[in-house]
């Protein structure tokens, strides 16, 4: 579970997020939508502990992200929009490094590495240096790393960037399986189709303030549009000139 209580983040005199209250339950995939600069990535970075709120409190799986940082981090996986790997490590070495950070036994790491490499189809290059990987290859290894320790909470920013349609489908299925097992998935995306396909609930943020939260049907009712998330998004953000698709 993720709980944000009156969370605000200011950078100097500018506010990226204002008075955000939100609860994302266990066993839920929550899609976080908004125009560019709306506060999505700032919010995710605060939930991961990479940024500190100016005001308010964030709890992850019952742990205060500031006071109980190590306990919170032990149950979180974060997949950023730009996958990072150490260029002079192979994919396998990177996954073993991650496993050691979570105190996983080496044999368990190797077993999980094999399972995830097969699932995300990165076996053929897992023993090559990461500096030789394409963006999509990096993304598949990073996603494998995020699932390695069977996290309770997954935070994912633009999950389908760089993935081909087959890999994107594999990831969507994997996320839904995690949710069915009780995991909380918090997903920021500009790809409204992905949100429609996968999300249990949707939140729309604009100018750092939450506009609405609800199921797709609830969002459609509030927007008084038909059954298309794109129409509802544009209606509820009042035709914001910043494209939500870039």
Main-chain dihedrals φ then ψ at residue 231, nearest 5 degrees: -65, -45
CA distance linking residue 118 with residue 147, whole number of Å: 13
| pLDDT per 10-residue tile (average), the chain, 246 residues | 96 93 95 92 94 96 93 91 92 95 93 95 95 92 93 90 84 92 93 90 94 92 84 80 37
b (16+ CB within 10 A) / e for 56-77: bebbbbebebeeeeeebbbbbb
Q: What is the pLDDT of residue 78?
A: 93
Q: What is the pLDDT of residue 239?
A: 52
User: Which H or E run includes 100?
Assistant: helix 91-101
CA distance linking residue 46 with residue 6, whole number of Å: 13
Identify whether the C-beta of residue 2 lies closer than 8 Å to the C-beta of residue 153: yes
């Amino acid at each position: 579970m993720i709980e944000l209580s009156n969370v605000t983040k200011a950078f100097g005199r500018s506010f990226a997020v204002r008075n955000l209250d939100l609860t994302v339950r266990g066993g839920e995939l929550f899609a976080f939508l908004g125009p560019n600069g709306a506060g999505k990535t700032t919010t995710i970075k605060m939930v991961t502990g990479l940024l500190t709120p100016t005001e308010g409190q964030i709890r992850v799986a019952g742990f205060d992200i500031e006071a109980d940082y190590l306990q919170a981090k032990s149950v979180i996986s974060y997949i950023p929009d730009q996958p990072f790997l150490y260029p002079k490590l192979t994919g396998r070495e990177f996954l073993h490094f991650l496993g050691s950070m979570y105190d996983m036994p080496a044999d368990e790491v190797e077993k999980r590495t094999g399972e995830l490499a097969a699932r995300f189809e990165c076996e053929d290059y897992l023993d090559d240096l990461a500096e030789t990987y394409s963006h999509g290859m990096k993304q598949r290894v990073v996603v494998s790393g995020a699932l390695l320790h069977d996290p309770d909470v997954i935070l994912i920013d633009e999950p389908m960037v760089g993935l081909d349609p087959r890999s994107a489908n594999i990831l969507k299925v994997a996320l839904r399986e995690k949710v069915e097992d009780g995991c909380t998935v918090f997903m920021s995306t500009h790809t409204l189709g992905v949100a429609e396909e996968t999300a249990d609930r949707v939140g729309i943020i604009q100018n750092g303030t939450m506009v609405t939260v609800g199921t797709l049907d609830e969002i459609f009712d509030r927007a008084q549009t038909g059954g298309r998330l794109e129409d509802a998004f544009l209606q509820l953000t009042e035709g914001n000139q910043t494209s939500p698709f870039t």
